[in-house]
Amino acid sequence: MKNRPTISDPYTDPNTYPPGVAFLDDQYVPVGAAKISVLDNGFLHSDATYDVVHVWQGAFFRLDLHLDRFFQGMDKLHMSIPYEKPQVTEILHNCVAVSGLKNAYVEFICTRGTSPTFSRDPRDAVNRFIAFAIPFASVASPEQMDRGLHVAITDVVRIPPLSVDPTIKNYHWLDLVQGLYQAYERGAETAILLDTNGNIAEGPGFNIFMVKDGTVLTPDYGVLMGITRQTIFELCQSLQINCSAQGISPLELGAADEVFITSTAGGVMPVTNLNGKAIAAGQVGSLTRRIKDHYWRLHEQQTDRSVVDYGHASGL
């Protein structure tokens, strides 16, 4: 019989949480003190939707687009919260301001919540809103950003759109986790999953792009329409780079001139090794570097920035 955990155990000690601030039950608390009920259907059934936005150098990047997707997801899942978009905006700003973080990973969630009678009818549950801000996190480490990620194409199939609408950001990650373990067994650092047609889909928390003969391509089926993915389309248009969405086979991805992935958690991240083989010369591609540089320059544009007011931070 295993010993009972004590407060010193890493998974029970609140001091092991990253610094940050959370909002739930109409109050701001240290992120380590944010709790949900074990009866919450978000926990029991992964019945939830969420979104993630990042703060860079004291300002949210494209926050309105993330809020739009979050509210659309709630609508599609028949969920509601007692806050409108301006109120959620204020809550997110407060989480960051109270935390004092200048570069932050900010997540906001709506769970199905709980039913007073533990009813299995989702209409009986009271939906719950939670938000938190912690230090900025990236899919790729600084070393991986510099030399490029090593990725494996797995044979794990992503949950098909006919089962779960991929335009709703959700916590159905067991296929992604299975893909990660398969990638680790192959000596890779992260995974790419397939769609039901055998083409490239997406990875754990990121979309995939390839470059071939100067054209940028990305999968068009069974993937989350990522905000960073959308930003790349807009950026390529401004740079007069051809960019389109279409089916991409594993063989086509392996023959790419360059490959990169995109996520709110990290931006544009190069891939230089696929299934143990170097992509092109195994170096970060020039077009990838160009797109990455311009992506971070967008963070300086006032139209895409929502500046955090740290001077009026209060709440804890």
List, as one string, the DSSP characters of 135-165.
Answer: E---SS-HHHHHH-EEEEEEEEEPPPTTTS-
SS3 47: coil
Within 8 A by CB and 6+ apart from 19, the residues are 31, 99, 101, 134, 135
d(CA 299, CA 302): 8
Q: What is the pLDDT of residue 282?
A: 95
Tell me the whole-structure pTM to 2 decimals. Answer: 0.92
Residue in 264, 132, 131, 130 with CA at minimum distance from that of residue 205: 264
Strand order of the β-sheet with 305-307 is 27-30, 21-24, 126-135, 104-114, 48-56, 59-61, 305-307
Any idea of the CA torsion for 228, 233, 237, 240, to the nearest 10 degrees?
Answer: 100
> Whose CA is closest to 224, among 72, 62, 64, 59?
72
Ordered structural domains, the chain, with CATH: 17-135 (3.30.470.10), 142-300 (3.20.10.10)
pLDDT recorded at residue 304: 95
Q: How far apart are CA 269 and CA 13, in angstroms?
A: 33
CA–CA dist 107, 264 (Å, integer): 11
| Predicted local distance difference test score (pLDDT) of residue 13 | 62
Q: d(Cα 146, Cα 164) in Å, to the nearest integer? A: 35
* pLDDT of amino acid 11: 47
Q: Which residues of the chain have pLDDT under 50?
A: 1-11
